[in-house]
Amino acid sequence: MSTAEPVISCSNVWKLFGEKAERYLAGMTGNPTFDEIRQAGYIAAVRDVSVDIARGEMLVIMGLSGSGKSTFVRCLSRLLDITGGTVKVEGQDIGALSEKELIDLRRNKMGMVFQSFGLLPHRSVLDNVAFPLEMRGQDRHTRRARALEVIELVGLSGREDYFPRELSGGQQQRVGIARSLAIEPDIWFLDEPFSALDPLIRREMQDEFLRLQEMLGKTIVFITHDFDEALRLADRIAIMKDGAVEQCDTPDKIVLEPATEYVRKFTEEINKARVVHARGLARPINGVSPTGEPIAGHTTIQEMGRLLVNDTRDLMPVSDRNGKVIGAMARQEALDVLFGAPA
């Protein structure tokens, strides 16, 4: 991920539902809880959220129903106006945009995929995918060529003339993804896009999604309530509760170092060895020179189980995808993750 200016930057974002919510927020003192705000007659759908999203990052937002995750993502695209704070996209405060400027931003920069596929039943796959380009005013030849390109990208070549009713659930979801990709968005919002699919198709769609992200490198905000899905897809995970972000960190850190009791409960049933990677345990070398073949940072502790048992090194070098050593991992710490720390 880039260390440059974030693509999306949220600072102290609030979204309150209720009469004269802005006035209530302006007069609010201290740090009232969700329940205290509710007792005052308001629903705090988003509470004081600050998070930056880097270019090419996939941030997964998760939480139970009613935690505020969908409302927060709608604030990022200004489908909902926030009550307080700021949301900036590529340095531009979207709250200050005119309606025309906001429409242009969404049409040219943002793609959105929701749980309901929202396909037009009377239009073919090709025409569904080309629809946002038609709304943009592109000519028929140009939009057809682009639609065919993304239809191939999502693996639906040969089904261009099918209608939604002739497709499986997974294929319909691919059409929705292709339609959002047709405008070549820099930023991609996905709100539980796979939750309506059966487990096998859902796994296939996750594979397809990871393949697309590897190819396209979009900045993605992905909502899910499935922790396994979050762990599989995310660069970072933001866990929400009562409108607030309890913790926003890498999957490794979320599992190894839960910041709150609520986050700990999310992770307590997870097989840590399956989630934690060598890079998650790597520490700066600080003058020490670990010997031997480095371990690839993306390797999970589970995958290196046999090596950990048979190796005798106390410190094991860890490398990035280019083979450059980025730190050293303590073998005993990895063994504790694999087998559980001694009581």
Query: Which domain CATH number covers 319?
Result: 3.10.580.10
Report the distance separating Cα 226 and Cα 220, nearest Å.
17
Cα–chain-centroid distance for residue 240?
Answer: 13
Domain boundary among 271, 301, 321: 271
What's the chain's average pLDDT? 89
CB proximity list for 4: less than 8 A, separation 6 or greater: 54, 55
Q: Are both 165 and 215 inside the same structural domain?
A: yes
Last residue of a domain, one of 271, 288, 317: 271
Give the domain-ending residue among 226, 247, 271.
Answer: 271
Domain count, the chain: 2
- 198 and 279 fall within a common domain: no
Range from 27-36, 118-127, 211-220 carrying the lowest mean pLDDT: 211-220
Looking at the fold, whether 316 and 226 belong to one and the same domain comes out as no
Task: For residue 183, give the DSSP letter.
Answer: T
- What DSSP character marks residue 29? -
Same domain, yes or no: 108 and 253: yes
Lowest mean pLDDT among 9-13, 57-61, 98-102, 132-136: 132-136
Q: What is the pLDDT of residue 130?
A: 93
Is residue 320 situated within a structural domain?
Answer: yes
Q: Are residues 202 and 295 in the same domain?
A: no
Which has more confidence, 201 or 76? Answer: 76
> Does 4 score more than 80 pLDDT?
no
CATH for 163: 3.40.50.300
Q: What is the pLDDT of residues 152-176, one digit of tens each?
A: 888 889 999 999 999 988 888 889 8
Asked if residue 294 and residue 180 are part of one domain, the reply reads no
Does residue 261 surpass a pLDDT of 50?
Answer: yes
**286 has a pLDDT exceeding 90:** no
Confidence bin at 209 (pLDDT 50/70/90): confident
User: Between 195 and 147, where is the model more confident?
Assistant: 147
Q: Which residues of 196-210 are buried (b: 16+ CB within 10 A; e: fewer)?
A: ebeeebbeebbebbe
Same domain, 140 and 213: yes
Whole-number pLDDT of residue 226 = 86
Query: Can you tell me the mean pLDDT for 266-284?
Result: 89
* Domain containing residue 282: 273-339
pLDDT of residue 182: 85
Joined tokens for residue 208: 């397809």
Residue 149 or residue 341, greater confidence? 149
- In this prediction, residues 307-329 reach a mean pLDDT of 91
Task: Give the pLDDT confidence score for residue 168 in this predicted structure.
Answer: 87
Alpha-carbon Rg for the chain in angstroms: 22
Indicate yes or no: pTM above 0.75.
Answer: yes
Given a contact cutoff of 8 angstroms between Cβ atoms, the answer to whether 327 and 282 are in contact is yes
Within a domain: residue 237?
Answer: yes
Residues 283 and 316 in one domain: yes
Same domain, yes or no: 185 and 253: yes
The confidence band for 1, taking pLDDT boundaries of 50, 70 and 90, is: very low
Structural contact between residues 217 and 23, judged by C-beta atoms closer than 8 angstroms: no
Cα separation values, 53 from 19, 230, 243, 292, Å: 31, 16, 18, 36
Residue 293 is assigned to a structural domain of this protein: yes
Whether residues 288 and 189 fall in one domain = no
Structural domain includes residue 2: no
Residues 309, 259, single domain; the answer is: no
Predicted local distance difference test score (pLDDT) of residue 29: 86
Q: Within this chain, do residues 186 and 293 fall inside the same structural domain, yes or no? A: no
In a domain, 87, yes or no: no
